[in-house]
Structure 1
Amino acid sequence: MAGQIQGKFAAVTGAASGIGWASAKAMLDEGATVVLVDRDAAALDKVCQGYPDRAKPLVIDLLDTQACKALVGEILALTGGTLDIFHANAGLYVGGDLVDADPDAIDRMLQLNVNVVMKNVRDVIKHMSPRKTGDIVVTSSLAAHYPTPWEPVYASSKWAIDCFVQTTRRQVFKDGLRVGSVSPGPVITALLSDWPEDKLAEAKVSGSLIDPVEIGEIIIFMLTRPRGMTIRDVVVMPTNFDL
């Protein structure tokens, strides 16, 4: 049923591709005005073309500390001062053996996957709490629930952010805010380019990959429950994941 979040104002980080674009598109198709946040200006312009009035591109590199601090203010400037839905989705991936990982890549990934999410959500809460309503969704991962042996750095970042989501949710529900996460197994996105080649080949052969569109549909389900119900965490995996 189209129009389930008609008139709402939303923002999605990492919105130019993958899960971020699937989430933003699902919200746009349901009637929301969406600020699409990404550092790739060309990709943002391309995906926003089909929604000239309600898709609002915002080019920001969230790994830039000052730009990260300015995010919520920039979003509110584009929405007329209102933000009903925030999807913290932007992230990086580091896989493989820990001893082979580049320390600088570890720093970048932890900064974006953990620190940036915490700071963005903090600033969003400061806007939403006085209004006594709002939804915050964070992209976590199946790796937050299972100690995946070929991705100790990535999995650790998602275990951390899963704890953050659950503890923050318990702080802010009194203000009418809902905070939840979606934890997919392997999704067909650019992050898979960093997967170990043998693991990626196995996943393709066994049909163990998820289309991002499925995650967009799950997010709409989370957002459209009655206000007295919070979908705390959705763990979703391909049926063949355990093959």
Structure 2
Amino acid sequence: MAEKLDGKIAAITGAASGIGLATTEALIDAGARVVMVDRDETALAEITARLGDKAIAQVTDLLDPDSCAQMVPEILQKVEHLDILHCNAGTYIGGDLTETDTATIDRMLNLNVNVVMKNVRDVVPHMIERGTGDIVVTASVAGHMPIQWEPVYSSSKWAVTCFVQTMRRQLNKRGIRVGQVSPGPVISALLSDWEPDRLQRAKDSGSLIEPSEVSDAILFMLTRSRNVTIRDMIVLPTNFDI
């Protein structure tokens, strides 16, 4: 039995583009209000103006420790409570390990892993106090298998998968559902370092999916009756083959 999202309040990180924006639009269409978290203040202003009063801007630089720590408190100054946290912000590194530098590795691991843990840690007391909540993390199919052409990214998503599933078991007796969505390649800014020829071949062969196809999965997860937890949804392009 599906539940409605009318009156629910969600916060989505990395909400100004890609999966975050598609999920924002899907949740608003389903009746929720969404706090859109992103560091791009200009993009947030334009998007919230387009989406109307159900979209609320929250400018946060997740890689700045102070800004990250203030995210949940600042959100709760703007809305009465949070029913849903979607930890979606992330970045990508592909190629051989020696082709990147350590500063880029640090940045990616901080955003893909540490920030997720911090955001979840900060929202959990609020959800425990209310006795309900949903936490969804954007993971990746790369968190389910060792992909040799993206060892840093794949490792970060393995870490996220472990974190999500341990937190699911920590919180499932407290009325809080924790799950993840694990897409294959999505047409988004994360593929910006793909070689143009590789990207075009993937598009032509049907080996990429749209952000909206991931947000459809997230909406399905969030609208299940409370006795059901979707622990992970792997969403792949039909022609994707690794």
Q: TM-score under structure 2 normalisation?
A: 0.96
**CA deviation profile, 1:115-153 (whole Å, cap 9, x unmatched):** 000010011111101111000000000100121111100
Which residue of structure 2 lines up, in the alignment, with residue 156 of structure 1? Answer: 155
**CA deviation profile, 1:191-224 (whole Å, cap 9, x unmatched):** 1102245542431231100100111111110000
Which residue of structure 2 lines up, in the alignment, with residue 70 of structure 1? Answer: 70
> Which whole-Å CA distance do the structure 1 matches of 2:82 and 2:26 have between them?
17
**Residue 112 of structure 1 pairs with residue 111 of structure 2:** yes
**Residue 96 of structure 1 pairs with residue 95 of structure 2:** yes
Verify the 8 A CA contact 1:95 1:196 in the aligned structure 2. Answer: no
Which residue of structure 1 lines up, in the alignment, with residue 21 of structure 2? Answer: 21
Which residue of structure 2 lines up, in the alignment, with residue 131 of structure 1? Answer: 130
Identity of aligned residues (%): 61
Equivalent position amino acid for 1:184 in 2: P
**CA deviation profile, 1:51-96 (whole Å, cap 9, x unmatched):** 321100111100000111111001111112x000000000011111
Pairs within 5 Å for 1:180-219: 180-197=179-196, 199-219=198-218
Verify the 8 A CA contact 1:187 1:212 in the aligned structure 2. Answer: yes
Which residue of structure 1 lines up, in the alignment, with residue 30 of structure 2? Answer: 30
Verify the 8 A CA contact 1:96 1:196 in the aligned structure 2. Answer: no
**CA deviation profile, 1:151-210 (whole Å, cap 9, x unmatched):** 100000000000000001000001000000000000010111022455424312311001
Detail structure 1 runs of 4+ shifted over 6 Å in the superposition: none
Q: What is the count of residue pairs matched by the alignment?
A: 241
- What secondary structure is seen at the aligned counterpart in 1 of 2:6? coil
Which residue of structure 2 lines up, in the alignment, with residue 178 of structure 1? Answer: 177
Verify the 8 A CA contact 1:138 1:181 in the aligned structure 2. Answer: yes
> Which whole-Å CA distance do the structure 2 matches of 1:10 and 1:128 have between them?
12
> Which whole-Å CA distance do the structure 2 matches of 1:135 and 1:240 have between them?
31
Verify the 8 A CA contact 1:96 1:195 in the aligned structure 2. Answer: no
Equivalent position amino acid for 1:173 in 2: N
Which residue of structure 2 lines up, in the alignment, with residue 6 of structure 1? Answer: 6
Gaps of 5+ in 1: none
Q: TM-score under structure 1 normalisation?
A: 0.96
What is the root-mean-square deviation in Å for CA atoms of aligned residues?
Answer: 1.5
> Which whole-Å CA distance do the structure 2 matches of 1:102 and 1:93 have between them?
13
**CA deviation profile, 1:18-65 (whole Å, cap 9, x unmatched):** 000011111111111110000011111122123321100111100000
Verify the 8 A CA contact 1:9 1:32 in the aligned structure 2. Answer: yes
**Residue 79 of structure 1 pairs with residue 79 of structure 2:** yes
- What secondary structure is seen at the aligned counterpart in 2 of 1:166? helix
Equivalent position amino acid for 2:77 in 1: A
> Which whole-Å CA distance do the structure 2 matches of 1:180 and 1:196 have between them?
32
Equivalent position amino acid for 2:32 in 1: A
